[in-house]
Structures are given as structure tokens and as C-alpha cells.
């Protein structure tokens, strides 16, 4: 009796947890307020952009630093789109880095242009080659050292462009200015000479680049006079403030999903999942009667508990393939029950009493249940580590689903069966 009472208690506990999980996973009310579902682009529509980070010519010790500053800049840009939950992630692939930008609910024609066509800023000095010819030489000072830029006006109401450098920027700038006193220093954006004259200026940099009047220490400088207009200074401030990319990036992969088509996919797969689950439950009752009902009960508990686990995984995003993986795991979850019930039938035929036949069924079916799930778990783990993000979701939900199903089919079903069979023996 005591063991039966404890079985009932355990079941009530599991049942209450399942009810709590049910509220937790509901897309409305409580579930939506507390930790709402994160849905992938293929379910809400939007744009995913993958950029390759070009790190050629950069000291490998500085890769991490470069990449994280790149990420910060892209994030600040992405935030301007006003997307609810923009995701900017960096993935290291062998010796390369990739930058992944996910924007829910917006089309890439707006986004890709603004993120992809990002300026790279660098300062260049002029080397006199004689005969009035000059060569433009890149310096170590690039956009990654820019802290801030502003536009102000002098006492004579002329526009003044101010900028501020960070990290080693002030030191590099000091060295550059020291060796260029009385000479010109140019600012290039995207390899184009833009300041302050226009690109079409026939005299080019030699004429219109700002003069270096003195050695500048401390990393603060201003440019004024000459050809500077309010427009050109304003444009430069924007470029500087948006955060210049220290390293160039290249768009290598793009996915753009229409929002209504995505919503349609979501509805369809949820309906398919519910209908599929009901059909499996029906199948179990037809084949195994009352035992089938117990398996169905365990299946429902399995479904809500597993969904709750997915929701609790930090940063977990449910994608279309993720839901597909979970639905497949529902089809497999009752497999363990089938193995147990069939084994129990055999033990009954052999003449065992009902209670010991069930115990024997569970005991003997276990090795088959374990073995039959291991190969799927192997597949899921390998898929998780060796594929792109779209498949990862599938591998994760399938893997977790299969592990959880072993728990539900064996543990929850056994508790329920014990409660029910004890009842029968008591009635006899």
C-alpha cells in the first residue's frame, strides 16, 4: 500500500508540474508574459544575413578584439532598424570569422544595403615623389580607433569638424601628425577620398586634404576652414558616428522570408503536429485499449514537459525544422510503450500473473528501448555539431525529444500502470 501511495503522490506531482508547464508554454496569457517563445525567421518572416569577416593583414592576436568591436558597431547599426529582437552573432569557423545578423519582420532590401554597405574609414598620408607627383600611403589609423565625432561652429560661424580617438588611436595619431607637420593628411571612406572636396576634384587629395599644423597629442583633433561646408562636415560626422568598421565584411549568405508565408508555415505545422499527435493517440487506444490510454496520458505529459524544456534553454529559438524534429520525436515517443506492451502480452501468454507480467515487460523491454534510441541520439548529436543553424534546431529538438521520451514512456507509464494494476488486484 505504501508504495502505491507514493506512486500516486509522484504521479500527482508530475501531473501538477505538467499543468504548470502547460501554462508556461501557452503562447498567450501567462506563457507570453513570462519568457515568451523566440521564433525563428522561417516562422515570423524577416531577414538573415551572413557576412564573412576579412581579417587579412591583421595580427592574429588581435582577431578577437577586432571581431568584437566589429560586432558592437553592427549591433548599434542594427538597433536603428527598430527590430524587436535583433540578433547579431559571431561564429568562428576554422580560421575564419562569420557575422550573422538576424532581423525578424523586415526585408533585406532595406537592411542589407545599410549594414552591408558599411564604410571603412582610414587615414592616409601623402608621400612626395618629386616632380609635383604624390603617392597616397595608408597609415595604421583606421575607423576602429574612432571614439566620437561632432560638428561645431567657430566664432566666425564656420563649420568645424571635431573627432576623438580611442585605444591606441591617440598615440598613432600623434606619430602620424609629428611626421607630417606642414603636410596634408587625408581621410578615406570606403577607399574613396571624400573629404572635404568631392571625388571629381581634378586636383584631388594633394590640394584639398586638411593641413597638419602641429603634432597632436591626446587624441582630440578638429578640422576647419578650407573647403569645408556644413554638408560635407555633417556627412563625415554621420559616417564617423555610425561607427566605422575596422575590417571589411562581405555578404556571403542571405535569407529573406515573407512574413505572411512564414505565418502560414507556422499555422500549418502546428495543425499537422496536433493532428499527428491525436492520430498517434487514437492508434494506441485502438491497439492497446486501456494501456493505450495510459500511454496517451504519458505522451501528453511528455509533450508539455518537453516543450517547457525547450523554452527554458537559454537563447533557444524555435525554427520550422525544430518543430519538425519535435513532431518526429512524438511519433517515436510511444515506441517504448509499444515495446513494453508487446513484451507484457508475451509474458502474459507465458502464464505470468498480470502484475509480474507488467514488471517483466518493463524489465525486458528496457534493453531494446535503450538500444533503439541510441542510434537516433548519435545521429542527433552529430547533426547538431556538424551542420548550419537551420539543421541545428532540428537536431536539438529531436535529440532532447528522444531522451525525454525514454523518461516519459518508461517512468511515467510505469507509475501509472502500477497505480492502475494495484487497483485491479485489490478489486479481485
Partner 1 sequence: MINVIKYRWVFLGISAILIALSIFALTNFGLKEGIDFTGGSLWQLKVNATPTEISNFFENDLKLPLSSISHDESTGVYSLAFRDITDAERNSAMDLIKKEFGEDVEEVDFWTVSPSVSAETKNKAFTAIGLVVLGISLFIAYAFRKVSRPVSSWKYGAITLLTLVHNVVIPAGAYALMSHYMGISIDTNFVVALLVVMGFSVHDTIVVFDRIRENITKARSVNLNEIINKSVSETIRRSINTSLTLIIVLLTLYFLGPLSLKYFVLTIVIGTTVGAYSSIFVASPLLGLAQGKKSSNR
CB atoms within 10 A of CB 402: 24
Q: Which of 253, 356, 423, 425 binds partner 1 (CB under 8 A)?
A: 253
Q: Of the candidates 402, 404, 401, 394, which has an alpha carbon nearest to the alpha carbon of residue 318?
A: 394
Span interacting with partner 1, options 108-116, 141-149, 227-235, 420-428, rule CB under 8 A: 108-116
What is the rounded CA–CA span in Å between residue 156 and residue 281?
A: 83
Q: Is 105 in the site for partner 1 (CB under 8 A)?
A: no
Question: Which x/- pattern over 258-297 shows residues binding partner 1 (rule: CB under 8 A)?
Answer: x--x--xx--xx-xxx-xxx-xx--xx--x----------
C-alpha cell at 138: 595608408
Distance in angstroms (rounded) separating the CA atoms of residues 234 and 149 = 10
Which residue from 37, 316, 390, 407 is in contact with partner 1, where contact means CB under 8 A? 390
Contacts of 316 (CB under 8 A, 6+ apart): 38, 310, 396
What is the footprint of partner 1 within residues 72-101 (CB under 8 A)? 93
Q: Which residue has the cell 507570453?
A: 32
The answer to whether residue 52 forms part of the interface with partner 1 (CB under 8 A) is yes
180 counts as binding partner 1 under rule CB under 8 A: no
Give the C-alpha separation, 423 to 390, whole Å. 49
Reduced to 3 states (helix: H, G, I; strand: E, B; else coil), residue 181 is coil
Shortest separation between residue 332's beta carbon and partner 1, angstroms: 6
Q: How far is the CB of 230 from partner 1 (least distance, A)?
A: 31
Residue 84 beta carbon to partner 1: minimum distance, rounded to whole angstroms: 21
Q: Write down the H helix ranges in 156-258.
A: 169-179, 204-208, 230-241
Residue 312 touches partner 1, criterion: CB under 8 A: no
Q: Tell me whether residue 137 or residue 275 sits nearer to partner 1 (CB atom).
A: 275
Is 42 a binding residue for partner 1 by CB under 8 A? The answer is yes
Please identify, among the stretches 178-186, 197-205, 247-255, 407-415, the one whose residues bind partner 1 according to the rule CB under 8 A. Answer: 247-255
Helix, strand and coil percent figures for the chain, each rounded to 5? 60, 20, 25
The 3-state DSSP class for residue 399 equals: helix
How far is residue 401's CA from residue 306's CA, in Å, rounded to a whole number? 7
Query: Which range of residues in 9-17, 68-76, 139-147, 391-399 is near partner 1 by CB under 8 A?
Result: 391-399
Q: Which is nearer to partner 1, 7 or 287 (CB)?
A: 287
From start to end of 24-120, where are the E strands?
Answer: 46-53, 87-93, 96-104
Report the alpha-carbon distance of residue 393 to residue 319 in Å, rounded.
6
- Applying CB under 8 A, the span of 138-146, 240-248, 253-261, 416-424 interacting with partner 1 comes to 253-261
Distance of alpha carbon 343 from alpha carbon 377, whole angstroms: 24
CB under 8 A: which stretch of 68-76, 150-158, 230-238, 377-385 binds partner 1?
377-385
Residue 348 grid cell? 502474459
| Residue 376 in the binding site for partner 1 (CB under 8 A) | yes
- Among 371, 426, 427, 428, indicate the residue that binds partner 1 (CB under 8 A): 371
Near partner 1 in 112-141, by CB under 8 A: 112-113
22 scored as a contact of partner 1 (CB under 8 A): no
Burial of 419 (0-12, 13-18, 19+ CB in 10 A): middle
Minimum Å gap between C-beta 368 and partner 1 is 5
Scanning the structure block, which residue is given the C-alpha cell 493532428?
Answer: 275
Computed from CA positions of residues 316, 319, 322, 323, in that sequence, does the dihedral angle turn out positive or negative?
Answer: positive
Q: Which residues contact partner 1 (rule: CB under 8 A)? A: 42, 50, 52, 93, 108-109, 112-113, 251-258, 261, 264-265, 268-269, 271-273, 275-277, 279-280, 283-284, 287, 320-321, 324, 327-328, 330-332, 334-335, 338-339, 342, 346, 367-368, 371-376, 378-380, 382-383, 386-388, 390-391, 394, 398
Amino acid at each position: 500500500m505504501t508504495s502505491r501511495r507514493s506512486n500516486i503522490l509522484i504521479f500527482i506531482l508530475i501531473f501538477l508540474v505538467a499543468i504548470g508547464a502547460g501554462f508556461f508554454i501557452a503562447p498567450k496569457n501567462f506563457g507570453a508574459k513570462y519568457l515568451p517563445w523566440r521564433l525563428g525567421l522561417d516562422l515570423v518572416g524577416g531577414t538573415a544575413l551572413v557576412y564573412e569577416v576579412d581579417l587579412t593583414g591583421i595580427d592574429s592576436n588581435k582577431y578577437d578584439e577586432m571581431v568584437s568591436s566589429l560586432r558592437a558597431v553592427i549591433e548599434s547599426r542594427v538597433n536603428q532598424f527598430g527590430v524587436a529582437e535583433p540578433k547579431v552573432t559571431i561564429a568562428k569557423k576554422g580560421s575564419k570569422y562569420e557575422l550573422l545578423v538576424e532581423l525578424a519582420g523586415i526585408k533585406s532590401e532595406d537592411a542589407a544595403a545599410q549594414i552591408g554597405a558599411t564604410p571603412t574609414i582610414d587615414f592616409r598620408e601623402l608621400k612626395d615623389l618629386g616632380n609635383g607627383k604624390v603617392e597616397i600611403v595608408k597609415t595604421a589609423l583606421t575607423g576602429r580607433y574612432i571614439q566620437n565625432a561632432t560638428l561645431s561652429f567657430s566664432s566666425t560661424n564656420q563649420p568645424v569638424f571635431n573627432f576623438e580617438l580611442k585605444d591606441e588611436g591617440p598615440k598613432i595619431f600623434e606619430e602620424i601628425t609629428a611626421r607630417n607637420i606642414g603636410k596634408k593628411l587625408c581621410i578615406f571612406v570606403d577607399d574613396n577620398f571624400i573629404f572635404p572636396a568631392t571625388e571629381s576634384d581634378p586636383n584631388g587629395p594633394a590640394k584639398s586634404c586638411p593641413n597638419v599644423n602641429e603634432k597632436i597629442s591626446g587624441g582630440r583633433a578638429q578640422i576647419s576652414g578650407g573647403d569645408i561646408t556644413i554638408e560635407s562636415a555633417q556627412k563625415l560626422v554621420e559616417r564617423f558616428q555610425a561607427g566605422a568598421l575596422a575590417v571589411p565584411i562581405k555578404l556571403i549568405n542571405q535569407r529573406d522570408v515573407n512574413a505572411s508565408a512564414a505565418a502560414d508555415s507556422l499555422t500549418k505545422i502546428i495543425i499537422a503536429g496536433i493532428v499527428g499527435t491525436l492520430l498517434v493517440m487514437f492508434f494506441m487506444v485502438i491497439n492497446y485499449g486501456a494501456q493505450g490510454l495510459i500511454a496517451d496520458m504519458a505522451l501528453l505529459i511528455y509533450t508539455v514537459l518537453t516543450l517547457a524544456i525547450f523554452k527554458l534553454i537559454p537563447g533557444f529559438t524555435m525554427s520550422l525544422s525544430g518543430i519538425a524534429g519535435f513532431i518526429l520525436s512524438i511519433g517515436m515517443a510511444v515506441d517504448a510503450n509499444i515495446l513494453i506492451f508487446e513484451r507484457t502480452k508475451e509474458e502474459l501468454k507465458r502464464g505470468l500473473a498480470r502484475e509480474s507480467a507488467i514488471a517483466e515487460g518493463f524489465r525486458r523491454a528496457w534493453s531494446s528501448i535503450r538500444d533503439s534510441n541510441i542510434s537516433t541520439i548519435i545521429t542527433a548529436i552529430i547533426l547538431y555539431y556538424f551542420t548550419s543553424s537551420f539543421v541545428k534546431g532540428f537536431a536539438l529538438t529531436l535529440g532532447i525529444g528522444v531522451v525525454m521520451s525514454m523518461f516519459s514512456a518508461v517512468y511515467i507509464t510505469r507509475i501509472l500502470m502500477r497505480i492502475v494494476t494495484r487497483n485491479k488486484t485489490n478489486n479481485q
